[in-house]
Structure formats: structure tokens, C-alpha cells
Amino acid sequence: MSAPADVALAADRIGATVAAPIEHPFAGAAATRWIAPERLPDACRLLREAGWFFESLTCVDRLAAHGAFELIYTFDRFEAPPSSRVAWRVWAPAGTAVPTVSGVYGAADWNEREAWELFGVVFSGHPRLTWLLLPEGTEWRPLLKSFTAPPPSAYDDSLDAGPPAASDDRPAHS
């Protein structure tokens, strides 16, 4: 079961796939399936057991149009021919937690933390949803399409920076 079509069919057989919630084409993968959020760990385990590695997690903000996020998990194999990537697409309604796959693929830990921090997607069972880039406790999500600007912060020193002070001890220019 090493071909992309084979693992996609295996996901169908274990009942992990669902009907597409939106009609939006996906390019860049030899096989793609929409996966039920609750079956995501099973679908990922199927890939891992077949020798596929976790490549990335992408989050797409579809909140304005559909009230949900689209999560795209991509997988590949070192010994596979080019263009053999597999993509699992997961529809995550706003406010709904998605099971973590960090227990299946440790590398997914960081990607899920990024999606949580920058979009607000919650991953149930994640061992440590902690801040990576933003100050701890940040309440805004900078990669949401609705995001305009962060509120003033104690970390922003540009708010009270006045004009540079004149100084007589500057080196003379010749």
C-alpha cells in the first residue's frame, strides 16, 4: 500500500472519509481525501504504517464564507516517485476542536501549535498548546482574514518613542 491512490482508498475503507463540504479544487497532491475530524488520527496512522512521513499542516481561513477552517495535512514518501504527495483535508467549524495527530507524527506538534496560535484552531489531546511566536496570552489571531492590527502592547516600544534626542557627542564627519 505505497501508492497514493492505495492509501486514499484505504482511508475510504476504514470509514475516515467524508463528502466534500465545499467544492474547491486542490492541486499539488497525487491523492486527496476529505477526512472526518474524529477519524483524522486513524487516517494518519494508516499513512504512517504504510511508510509515509508528515510533511506539513496548512490552515485556510474560510470563516467569513463558511464559518470554518480548512486544514490540509500533507504526507510524502522518500522512495516514492515525484508528485506522490497525499493530502488529507479536514473541515473544522469555528469553535470545534480537532483531534491532535502529534501522537502519530511528532513533527505535527509544532504545526498544530502554529495553527492554534495564529488562527485559533484548537487541537484536542495536544500535549502542549503553548505559544511559539506571540506573547503569551495574546487574544488576537494574526493570520485570520478578519485581522487588521494588534492592539497596543507592552512589547511595542514604538508607541512612546519620541524624536531622537540631539547629542553633541556624535562623531564629526569629514
171: pLDDT confidence band, cut at 50, 70 and 90? low
Q: Which residue has the higher pLDDT, 25 or 119?
A: 119
Dump pLDDT digits (tens) for 94-143: 999 999 999 999 999 999 999 999 999 999 999 999 999 998 888 889 99
Domains of the chain in start order, with CATH, are 4-124 (3.30.460.80)
Convert the pLDDT of each residue in 75-98 to its tens digit. 999 886 777 899 999 999 999 999
The predicted model scores a pTM of 0.84
State the SS3 of the chain. Answer: CCCHHHHHHHHHHCCCECCCCCCCCCCCCCEEEEECHHHHHHHHHHHHHCCCEEEEEEEEEEHHHHCEEEEEEEEECCCCCCCCCEEEEEEEECCCCEECCCCCCCCHHHHHHHHHHHHCCCEECCCCCCCCCCCCCCCCCCCCCCCCCCCCCCCCCCCCCCCCCCCCCCCCCC
Q: What is the pLDDT of residue 52?
A: 94
- Band (167; pLDDT cuts 50, 70, 90): low
